[in-house]
């Protein structure tokens, strides 16, 4: 315990004793679960630190990729400026799948070209954002824009009006003549950090972004939600959700349209930032995985890792919490416990049978021995059927999945059924296998996408070379004719 980073979290005396005595998440139940799993505290710390680091890296790489898309477009447009073919935008939108709209504005913020025709000639962008976007690459948002809802989604099956807007200055002959802009529905961000298929804690795991320092729009409070909660609706929630209302002893936590800007991550009991968010903002990061957890915005005991970060082009500093319910994380019971329970019960049954048989003085010794042997056989059969066979079956299922993928013909959309994973080491292994396959699927998908993009670029270069060759031939013929 002394070496755990969790011991550094600054919880008040009241926060250390906040759980009720009874209930599924009360002191008695949670202290027992945490005691049984106390040897795994260090492993759980490592898990949450890995989850947080991976998601921050994923976000930063994703933002860099979007800037590269816009930078490439900003290099193409000046070649024919002021004549710009919408085809250029459409082709780039086809490659840049996360954008729902690509458009060009002039120095007054008026839309001159767009992949969404109804947006042309509009000047509906925030003036301050346009001003910043004409100076340098600028990431605005998230913010609410009804047009995002009207245009439709890009890659996420979730969709609302919350928006991220990328501004890339458009420079022609050294002068800024406008900006290339890219609209991303903010739910894309939620999908990136959730990675649903790879959730280690499928029932309660939640990764959400909140405001730390709002330098562009100073009206946004610290702790305000900037991404979709996994519990926004009933898609992944195993109980109450934010749209239907989450009931606590201190009121109902509810949203109307979306998590972003409607939820501030406070403890309903105090109306102050909940301890995880509070300490993350205060220290830049926070980690806590031990008993008794801390109250989240649903007033449920959770544990997890908090980090702060800044994305390229954004003047704001954000925070992200990667959390799981204390009850689910420490619900696991070691295989060792299960095997020992089965063994002790078996021995108790055998001992009870022998005591009962020996108490029957009328039975001859050969009958007692025969019945004892029969009881041993029955216990062995039941032990194999109820204890060891399910265990080996789970291992076989995992082996089959890994074998299929290792042979090179595996379907990377294949996953172990999370509902059938039990709460022991085999369940942990199964969830990590799912997470590994999900990561592998993402990497392979990115490689395929990059290869396709490179192929298209090569085709475009070949076409350009052919045109150059044709022009050169014509020029050479003309010169020859002149001579």
Residue 393 belongs to domain spanning: 333-483
Are 390 and 478 in a shared domain? yes
CATH code at 169?
A: 3.30.450.20
Are 443 and 322 in a shared domain? no
Rounded to two decimals, what is the model's pTM? 0.85
Minimum mean pLDDT range among 259-263, 309-313, 395-399, 415-419: 415-419
Task: Place 483 in a pLDDT band, splitting at 50, 70 and 90.
Answer: low
Single residue among 315, 331, 347 that ends a domain in this structure? 331
Are 259 and 377 in a shared domain? no
Single residue among 331, 356, 374 that ends a domain in this structure? 331
Burial bucket for residue 129 (CB in 10 Å: 0-12, 13-18, 19+):
buried
Q: What is the pLDDT of residues 53-83, one digit of tens each?
A: 999 999 999 999 999 999 999 998 888 788 8
Are 322 and 344 in a shared domain? no
Q: What is the pLDDT of residues 231-253, one digit of tens each?
A: 999 888 777 999 999 999 999 99
User: In Å, how far are 5, 53, 275, 428, 440 from 43, measured between CA atoms?
Assistant: 12, 15, 22, 12, 23
> What does the radius of gyration of the chain's CA atoms come to, in whole angstroms?
30
Are 316 and 382 in a shared domain? no
Average pLDDT, the chain: 90
Are 324 and 338 in a shared domain? no
**Alpha-carbon span 139 to 136, nearest angstrom:** 10
Q: What is the pLDDT of residues 153-195, one digit of tens each?
A: 999 999 999 999 999 999 999 999 999 999 999 999 999 998 7
- pLDDT for the residue numbered 409: 63
Are 379 and 430 in a shared domain? yes
- pLDDT for the residue numbered 2: 55
Count of structural domains, the chain: 2
Element (H, E) at 168: strand 162-172
Q: For the chain, give the percent of residues with pLDDT over 90.
A: 63
Three-state DSSP at 179 gives strand
Are 265 and 315 in a shared domain? yes
Are 417 and 456 in a shared domain? yes
Q: Are 156 and 123 in contact (CB under 8 A)?
A: no
Are 298 and 342 in a shared domain? no
Single residue among 308, 331, 354 that ends a domain in this structure? 331
Are 224 and 240 in a shared domain? yes
User: In Å, how far are 67, 299, 359 from 321, measured between CA atoms?
Assistant: 25, 15, 63
**Alpha-carbon span 468 to 27, nearest angstrom:** 77
Are 360 and 282 in a shared domain? no
């Amino acid at each position: 315990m002394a070496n755990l980073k969790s011991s550094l979290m600054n919880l008040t005396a009241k926060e250390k004793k906040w759980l009720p005595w009874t209930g599924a998440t009360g002191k008695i139940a949670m202290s027992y679960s945490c005691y049984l799993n106390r040897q795994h505290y260090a492993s759980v710390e490592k898990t949450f630190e890995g989850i947080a680091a991976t998601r921050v890296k994923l976000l930063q790489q994703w933002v860099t990729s979007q800037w590269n898309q816009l930078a490439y477009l900003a290099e193409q447009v000046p070649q024919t400026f002021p004549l710009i073919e919408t085809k250029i935008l459409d082709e780039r939108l086809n490659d840049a799948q996360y954008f729902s709209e690509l458009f060009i504005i002039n120095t007054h913020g008026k839309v001159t070209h767009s992949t969404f025709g109804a947006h042309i000639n509009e000047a509906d962008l925030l003036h301050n954002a346009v001003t910043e976007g004409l100076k340098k690459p600028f990431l605005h948002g998230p913010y609410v824009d009804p047009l995002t809802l009207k245009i439709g989604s890009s890659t996420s099956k979730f969709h609302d009006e919350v928006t991220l807007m990328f501004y890339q200055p458009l420079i022609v002959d050294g002068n800024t003549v406008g900006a290339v802009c890219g609209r991303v529905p903010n739910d894309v961000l939620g999908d990136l950090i959730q990675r649903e298929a790879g959730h280690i804690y499928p029932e309660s795991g939640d990764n959400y972004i909140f405001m730390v320092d709002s330098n562009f729009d100073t009206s946004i409070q610290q702790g305000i939600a900037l991404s979709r909660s996994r519990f926004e609706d009933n898609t992944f929630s195993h109980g109450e959700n934010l749209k239907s209302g989450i009931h606590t002893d201190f009121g109902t936590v509810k949203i109307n349209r979306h998590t972003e800007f409607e939820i501030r991550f406070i403890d309903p009991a105090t109306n102050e930032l909940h301890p995880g968010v509070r300490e993350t903002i205060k220290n830049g990061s926070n980690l806590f995985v031990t008993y008794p957890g801390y109250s989240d915005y649903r007033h449920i005991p959770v544990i997890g890792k908090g980090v702060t970060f800044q994305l390229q082009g954004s003047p704001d500093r954000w925070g992200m919490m990667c959390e799981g319910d204390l009850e689910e994380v420490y619900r696991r019971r070691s295989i060792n416990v299960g095997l020992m329970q089965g063994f002790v019960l078996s021995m108790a049954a055998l001992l009870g049978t022998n005591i009962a048989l020996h108490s029957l003085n009328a039975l001859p010794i050969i009958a007692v021995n025969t019945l004892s042997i029969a009881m041993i056989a029955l216990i062995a059969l039941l032990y194999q059927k109820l204890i060891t066979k399910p265990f080996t079956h789970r291992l076989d299922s995992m082996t089959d999945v890994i074998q299929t993928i290792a042979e090179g013909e595996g379907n990377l959309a294949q996953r172990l059924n999370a509902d059938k994973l039990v709460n022991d080491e085999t369940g942990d292994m199964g969830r990590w296998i799912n997470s590994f396959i999900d990561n592998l699927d993402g990497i392979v998908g990115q490689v395929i996408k990059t290869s396709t993009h490179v192929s298209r670029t090569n085709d475009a270069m070949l076409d350009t070379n052919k045109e150059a060759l044709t022009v050169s031939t014509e020029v050479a013929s003309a010169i020859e004719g002149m001579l």
